[in-house]
Amino acid sequence: MISRRVFLMAGTAFAAAAAIRGLAPFARASATQTFEIVKTDAEWRAILTEDQYRILRHEDTERPFTSALNHEKRKGVFRCAGCALPLYSSEAKYDSGTGWPSFWQSLPGAVATRDDTSLLMTRTECHCRRCGGHLGHIFDDGPPPTGKRHCINGLALAFVLAAKSS
């Protein structure tokens, strides 16, 4: 159950993001880093849905509580929707109550980070280390053993069910 406080904080963050978007463009991770997979804007648009393109390539955020992956509890791997790099194991997924799929750690070497100051505060943005696709943000209010919460846009991910062992 979402608390009133979390709901109000999320609403305030979205209102601030909308206001700031009108004032200044978001900084792009790809502007300062190089990646293994590089595509033109047209190539990204051809392989992603409009919403995935907005999130992965322009650092947008999906509405909270809209991702089917919030309720995904099967064993498997969450891959980058842009390049299929394995990013998160279902073993690290948990319900943070924030409205986005959350993980307490990524797979080794899967994500890269940078400082994000787009909402008049400093947050840790995370993106796919291979294609630079924006995934979400990492916060210090997660569960043990890491204490981290990787708050990830569901549309930035593709879930692949683990193969059943015989």
Cα-only R_g, the chain: 16
Q: Which of 80, 83, 126, 151 is catalytic?
A: 151
**Nearest CA-CA partner of 120 in 30, 14, 16:** 16
* Residue 131 falls in the annotated catalytic set: no
Beta strands in 19-108 (DSSP E): 76-80, 86-89, 93-94, 102-103
User: For tokens 């978007």, what's the residue?
Assistant: 21
Backbone CA torsion sign across 57, 59, 62, 68: positive
Q: Is 120 exposed, middle or buried (0-12, 13-18, 19+ CB in 10 A)?
A: exposed
Q: Which residues carry out catalysis?
A: 151
